[in-house]
């Protein structure tokens, strides 16, 4: 095959960057910040991450990784198990199938796309959470979560774009697992 | 740009679809097999707890610094306010001493044996941020430290919620504002009993109020100890609105400042009544709600 053991190890490590980064973001999103009202409207950082990688490097964040990310979010934030997994997988599937519409488009177009995606994601999680709890959960916190997630998108994208430079160009041509 | 092989795309789509179905399956599993899912959840939380613990420390320190700066700006007004409060509390202190003496004498007359003595476990809140649909936090103490499911969680101010899941070294606390929180309470003055039901809003409501209940805004609500799971008399909140039908209360705990909490080990005391004496109120073990 190609490359030495270390090269391959390095390659594997780099391939794990999107997944690792997303998991770290989930950890950060549950850390208590002691900001009034923050804990109920924490932005869905994992959603931004999944959206970004689904557009730019879907092969580095395969569906099984998105599933794992969703479960991690459910485990840590105490939401019904599977809720975030469903939401993130649906987002991922929708974006990957429409990927060509986003690639190479201006930042504003992609951000606008995220507006729709974030709204849909919060809405679907609201429906799922309401069905699972058997009551209509109040919507105010959800609306603010959506707005905050949307507002944080540019900053997070800047971070991801920087990280993406670390990922070797070669990673694109490495056959999938 | 490399074009995906159609076959590969199909495999990918199939994988995605089956994972979505698996996630839905997990949701149903979570409803049916609560114990299993709970064990999975606490397992994961236990593994991540040290990381969360480390992460939450610098943030807490930062928050403290900000708080300190804010306090500095309020020093003068706080001082005047606190002086006034000391005056008033001194008067109460006198009253308390007199009542304590009274109480002791009367207890002596009655041969009263003090019933409940609780022990505490203190812990730090290492994660919150459940989002719009849950109100819970993770603390860095677990079964290893003597925590058990159902225990009352308090701060110096009053009731926070109850322990809902315990791992080895971490536990999840269901806040009293959560959708699934039900706490038997009683109004301190009017002795009206009710259940405090969270609905994810900042102000949980009182349900199962008696028909003729007369609650006025400002009345203090405390735990009733009904059902035996929680000790009686813990301050929960203040009645804010007592309109038609729904009575809402403002919890006494400041959620944004929730850093250290105490878990009350209370059950172990009420579970073991002294031989020859009837169990104190609520001696019967609670099973799935009263």
**Over 90: is that where the pLDDT of A84 sits?**
yes
B99 with B149, same domain: the answer is no
Environment class of B227 (CB within 10 Å of its CB; exposed 0-12, middle 13-18, buried 19+) = buried
Show the CA angle centred on residue A50, arms to residues A47 and A55, nearest 5°.
130
Residue with the larger pLDDT of the pair B206 and B275:
B206
The pLDDT value given to residue A129: 92
Per-residue model confidence as pLDDT tens digits over A12-70: 888 889 999 999 999 999 988 888 888 888 999 999 999 999 999 888 899 999 999 99
Q: What's the 3-state SS for B48-62?
A: HHHHHHHHHHHHHHH
Range in A1-15, B16-30, B93-107 the model is least confident about: A1-15
Mention every residue, 6+ apart, whose C-beta is less than 8 A from residue A75: A81, B40, B41, B44, B45
B123 with B258, same domain: the answer is yes
Instruction: Indicate whether B59 belongs to any domain.
Output: no
The pLDDT value given to residue A101: 86
Distance, in Å, from the CA atom of B26 to the CA atom of B32, rounded to the nearest integer, reads: 10
B82 with B130, same domain: the answer is no
**Over 80: is that where the pLDDT of B51 sits?**
yes
Contact across the interface for A70 and B59, Cβ inside 8 Å: no
Distance, in Å, from the CA atom of B261 to the CA atom of A1, rounded to the nearest integer, reads: 56
Instruction: Indicate whether B27 belongs to any domain.
Output: no
B136 with B258, same domain: the answer is yes
- CATH label of the domain that carries residue B180: 2.40.10.340
What ipTM score was computed for the predicted complex, to two decimals?
Answer: 0.85
A18 and A58 in contact (C-beta within 8 Å)?
no
Distance, in Å, from the CA atom of B28 to the CA atom of B46, rounded to the nearest integer, reads: 24
Q: B265: part of which helix (H) or strand (E)?
A: strand B260-265
Environment class of B155 (CB within 10 Å of its CB; exposed 0-12, middle 13-18, buried 19+) = middle
B55 and A28 in contact (C-beta within 8 Å)?
yes
**Over 60: is that where the pLDDT of A119 sits?**
yes
Instruction: Indicate whether B18 belongs to any domain.
Output: no
B124 with B97, same domain: the answer is no
Contact across the interface for A76 and B200, Cβ inside 8 Å: no
Q: Could you tell me whether strands B171-175 and B182-187 are parallel, antiparallel, or unpaired per DSSP bridges?
A: unpaired
Per-residue model confidence as pLDDT tens digits over B222-268: 998 887 778 888 899 999 887 767 889 999 998 888 889 999 887 54
Selected for mutation to probe chain B from A62, A81, A90, A98 (highest B CB count within 10 Å) is A81
CA A125 → CA A174, B1, B16, B134, distances in Å? 35, 34, 18, 12
Q: What is the largest CA-CA distance in chain B?
A: 91
Tell me B214's DSSP state. Answer: -
Instruction: Indicate whether B28 belongs to any domain.
Output: no
Which domain range does residue B104 map to?
75-111
B106 with B205, same domain: the answer is no
Band (pLDDT 50/70/90 cuts) for residue B112 is low
Kindly list the domain boundaries of chain A, sorted by start residue. 7-31+41-172
Selected for mutation to probe chain A from B8, B32, B131 (highest A CB count within 10 Å) is B131
B265 with B139, same domain: the answer is yes
Contact across the interface for B55 and A27, Cβ inside 8 Å: yes
Number of domains in chain B: 2
Instruction: Indicate whether B167 belongs to any domain.
Output: yes
Residue with the larger pLDDT of the pair B66 and B82:
B82
B158 with B215, same domain: the answer is yes
Instruction: Indicate whether B241 belongs to any domain.
Output: yes
B143 with B105, same domain: the answer is no
B82 with B167, same domain: the answer is no
B136 with B266, same domain: the answer is yes
The pLDDT value given to residue B214: 80
pTM score, whole prediction:
0.81
B99 with B230, same domain: the answer is no
Contact across the interface for A63 and B44, Cβ inside 8 Å: no
């Amino acid at each position: 095959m190609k490359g030495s053991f270390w090269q391959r190890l390095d390659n594997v490590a780099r391939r794990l960057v999107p997944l690792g980064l997303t998991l770290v973001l989930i950890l950060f999103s549950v850390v208590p910040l002691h900001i009034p009202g923050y804990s109920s409207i924490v932005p869905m950082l994992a959603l931004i991450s999944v959206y970004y990688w689904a557009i730019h490097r879907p092969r580095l964040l395969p569906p099984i990784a998105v599933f794992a990310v969703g479960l991690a979010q459910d485990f840590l934030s105490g939401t019904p198990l599977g809720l975030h997994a469903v939401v993130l997988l649906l987002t991922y599937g929708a974006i990957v199938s429409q990927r060509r519409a986003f690639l190479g488009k201006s930042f504003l177009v992609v951000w606008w796309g995220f507006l729709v995606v974030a709204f849909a994601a919060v809405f679907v999680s609201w429906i799922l959470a309401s069905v699972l709890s058997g009551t209509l959960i109040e919507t105010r916190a959800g609306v603010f979560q959506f707005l905050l997630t949307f507002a944080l998108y540019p900053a997070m994208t800047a971070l991801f774009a920087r990280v993406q430079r670390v990922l070797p160009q070669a990673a694109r041509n490495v056959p999938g697992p | 740009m490399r074009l995906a092989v159609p076959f590969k795309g199909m495999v990918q789509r199939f994988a995605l679809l089956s994972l979505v179905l698996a996630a839905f399956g997990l949701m149903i599993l979570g409803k049916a097999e609560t114990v299993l899912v709970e064990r999975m959840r606490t397992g994961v939380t236990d593994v991540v707890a040290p990381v969360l613990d480390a992460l939450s420390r610098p943030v807490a320190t930062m928050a403290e610094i900000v708080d300190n700066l804010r306090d500095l700006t309020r020093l003068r007004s706080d001082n005047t306010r606190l002086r006034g409060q000391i005056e008033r509390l001194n008067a109460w202190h006198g009253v308390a001493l007199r009542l304590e003496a009274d109480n002791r004498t009367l207890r002596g007359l009655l041969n009263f044996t003090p019933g409940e003595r609780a022990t505490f476990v203190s812990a730090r809140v290492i994660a919150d941020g459940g989002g719009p649909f849950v109100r819970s936090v993770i603390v860095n103490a677990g079964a290893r430290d003597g925590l058990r499911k159902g225990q009352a969680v308090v701060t110096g101010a009053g009731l926070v919620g109850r322990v809902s899941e315990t791992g080895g070294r971490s536990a999840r606390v269901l806040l009293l504002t959560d959708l699934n929180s039900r706490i038997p309470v009683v109004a301190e003055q009017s002795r009206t009993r009710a259940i405090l039901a969270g609905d994810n809003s900042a102000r949980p409501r009182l349900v199962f109020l008696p028909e003729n209940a007369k609650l006025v805004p400002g009345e203090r609500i405390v735990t009733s100890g009904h059902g035996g799971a929680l000790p009686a008399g813990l301050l929960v909140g203040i009645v804010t609105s007592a309109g038609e039908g729904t009575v809402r209360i403002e919890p006494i705990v400041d959620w944004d400042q929730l850093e250290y909490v105490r878990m009350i080990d209370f059950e172990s005391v009420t579970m073991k009544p002294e031989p020859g004496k009837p169990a104190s109120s609520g001696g019967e073990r609670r099973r799935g709600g009263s």
